[in-house]
Amino acid sequence: MSDDSRRSGAGTAAVIPAAGRGVRLGPGAPKALRALNGTPMLIHAVRAMAASRAVSLVVVVAPPDGAAEVKSLLDTHSLPERTDFLVVPGGDTRQESVKLGLDVLPPGIDIVLVHDAARPLVPVDTVDAVIEAVRDGAPAVVPALPLTDTVKEVEPRTGGLPEPVVATPERGRLRAVQTPQGFDRDTLLHAHETVTDGVTDDASMVEQLGEPVVVVPGHEEAFKVTRPLDLVLAEAVLARRRANDGF
Ligand SMILES: Nc1ccn([C@@H]2O[C@H](COP(=O)(O)OP(=O)(O)OP(=O)(O)O)[C@@H](O)[C@H]2O)c(=O)n1
Ligand SMILES: C[C@](O)(CO)[C@H](O)COP(=O)(O)O
């Protein structure tokens, strides 16, 4: 992203929902506050957003009782001076948390990224590709990767019972969606005011409005830290970066 783009008048903010417990990761602190190579996951995610020269504001949606701790973390870790930060407490669901972040966006922000704290290692080139696609006119943009596994649709059963297969979707048409997802601000606000059904990402809400959503290439390092093995992978990626370029 060039300095010219940054000066073009379209302010870009990143909202980072970080209020989840991390139940699938197992017992411990809220997921976003757990350490990766000694630094809280949230700080990695904040740095990933602030690495884009287009991003002038980062809104962190903190665990409901963790806003003071998050503010202290932002104060005590090195972050780019060109970026402003806001911290708000989150809600019971990801959707609610994102909405609480959107509520504090100031005027002058035209493009909004929504980025999981749980995807701490997304490269800046992916962030900038999402922003560029929004600047080019797409109201909603998601980074995504082709699948490597075959996917089955099943009739869900509980208790470990065998689940009947209903269908095998054509894999070539499927994509695994990541974040940051990028939006024209008005489109995203309208989606969050209109769609109340449970959804698992913000782009789905825009789809429900009938607005177009486009996919740009994601990155394998933008994976979501969900289960314990993902922590091992994340620390290995950080170690490789440090060995390769002193990151
Ligand atoms: N009430 C919630 C729930 C989730 N999130 C955030 O949404 C992102 C994606 O959610 P996920 O990976 O599912 O995180 P958790 O909800 O923490 O995980 P789990 O379902 O295992 O508890 C995370 O950055 C998480 O902090 C949030 O801000 N508010
Ligand atoms: C937003 C997301 O990361 C896109 O893949 C994903 O849908 C979040 O799902 P989660 O189950 O709330 O982690």
Nearest to 112 by CA among 225, 2, 17: 17
Q: How far apart are CA 224 and CA 100, in angstroms?
A: 22
* Residue with CA nearest ligand 2 atom 8: 200
* Class of CATH domain 3-144+177-245: alpha beta
Tabulate helix, strand, coil % of the chain (nearest 5).
40, 20, 40
Q: Which of 228, 218, 200 is nearest to 147 (CA)?
A: 218
Count of positions (residues) in the chain: 247
How far is CA 154 from its chain centroid? 28
pLDDT digits (tens, 9 = 90+) for 89-143: 999 999 999 999 999 999 999 999 999 999 999 999 999 999 999 999 999 999 9
Is 177 a pocket residue for ligand 2 (Cβ < 6 Å)? yes
Residue 106 DSSP symbol: P
Beta bridge partners of 90: none
What is the 10 CA–ligand 2 centroid distance (Å)? 27
- Would you list the domain boundaries of the chain? 3-144+177-245
Q: Using CA positions, which residue lies closest to atom 11 of ligand 2?
A: 200
- The stretch 24-43 carries a mean pLDDT of 96
Q: Return the pLDDT at 10.
A: 66
Cα distance between residue 24 and residue 86, in whole Å: 28
Q: What is the ipTM of this complex?
A: 0.98
Which residue from 118, 100, 32, 36 is spatially nearest to 69, judged by alpha carbons? 32
| C-beta 117 within 6 A of ligand 1 | yes
* Closest ligand by atom to 227 CA: 1
Per-residue pLDDT reduced to its tens digit, 140-167:
999 999 999 999 999 999 999 999 999 9
What is the model's pTM? 0.95
Residues ≥6 apart with Cβ < 8 Å to 227: 24, 25
- The residue whose CA has the least distance to atom 1 of ligand 2 is 201
Helices 94-102 and 185-194: angle between axes, nearest 10 degrees = 130
- Mutual angle of helices 41-50 and 67-76, in 10-degree steps: 60
247: enclosing H helix or E strand: none
